[in-house]
Amino acid sequence: MSDLKAITDTLISCDMDTLMDLVKTALDEGIPAGDILSQGLIGGMAVVGERMESGEMFIPEVLMAAHCMGTAVELLTPHLAEGEATSAGRVVIGTVKGDLHDIGKNLVVMMMESVGFEVTDLGVDVDADTFLKAIEEHKPQIVGLSALLTTTMPMMRDTVAKIAECDHRDALKIMVGGAPVDQAFADEIGADAYAPDAGSASKLAKALMNG
């Protein structure tokens, strides 16, 4: 539908006022709220993630797009039928013990939520036991660990090792990321996936959920 394409394009361009007008018009025209969400908005944020990954969009633009997305979802929520906004999956995420950096992690949370994931954000300076308790409580399909300091990489290793021993390990995918982390380190510590940035993290999470 051309209306949904316009919503996607306007979200990518971060034009909040026009986006709200387009969403309202689409609702008035009888386009299902679920279609506006999944095809117009989530589709747009998928493009934003790809452009961030390729360097075509930068963090301020991505944050603006995520803000537009959140506002549009608030407008749609009363119109969504029960079960219509099906979750893409559940994610538990946090920055490991000893590390207080959260900008990158927060951006990953925003991107994950923008493409339909239910995210439990444990914050920063999170020890292994807190991750384990959250896994037990929320039963996520994905757990994400962030480290922005080389000095906290050993803590990421230890946390992954403890998660690997938990009862839910077989149903769980462990994603890691952060400035000092790379694919080789992820492989070395037994993580299932490595994402270099927020755009690729949301894309990779969807790929993990699809098997």
Residue identified by tokens 């954000």 is 121
CB within 8 A of 24, min separation 6: which ones? 75
pLDDT tens column, 35-78: 999 899 998 998 998 898 899 999 899 989 999 998 998 899 88
What does pTM read for this prediction? Answer: 0.82
Instruction: Supply 68's token pair.
Output: 């537009």
Work out the percent of the chain whose per-residue pLDDT is above 70.
97
In DSSP terms, 94 is beta-bridged to: 145
Cα(86)–Cα(63) distance, rounded to whole angstroms? 23
Mean per-residue pLDDT for 168-183? 94
Burial of 61 (0-12, 13-18, 19+ CB in 10 A): middle
Q: In whole angstroms, what is the distance from residue 144 CA to residue 119 CA? A: 10
| Measured CA distances, 194 to 37, 74, 85, 182 (Å) | 28, 31, 28, 7
All structural domains of the chain with their residue ranges:
2-79, 89-209
Whether 82 has a pLDDT exceeding 60, the answer reads no
So what's the pLDDT on residue 88?
Answer: 87
Q: Which pLDDT score, from 0 to 100, does residue 211 have?
A: 74
Instruction: Give pLDDT tens digits for 84-138.
Output: 556 789 999 999 999 999 988 999 999 998 888 999 999 999 999 999 999 999 9
Least confident of 10-19, 35-44, 76-85: 76-85
Q: Answer yes or no: is pLDDT of 1 > 60.
A: no
> At residue 91, what are phi and psi to the nearest 5 degrees?
-130, 135
Assess whether pLDDT exceeds 80 at residue 5: yes
Topology (CATH) of 89-209: Rossmann fold (3.40.50)
The pLDDT mean for the chain works out to 92
Classified by CATH at the fold level, domain 2-79 comes out as: 1.10.1240
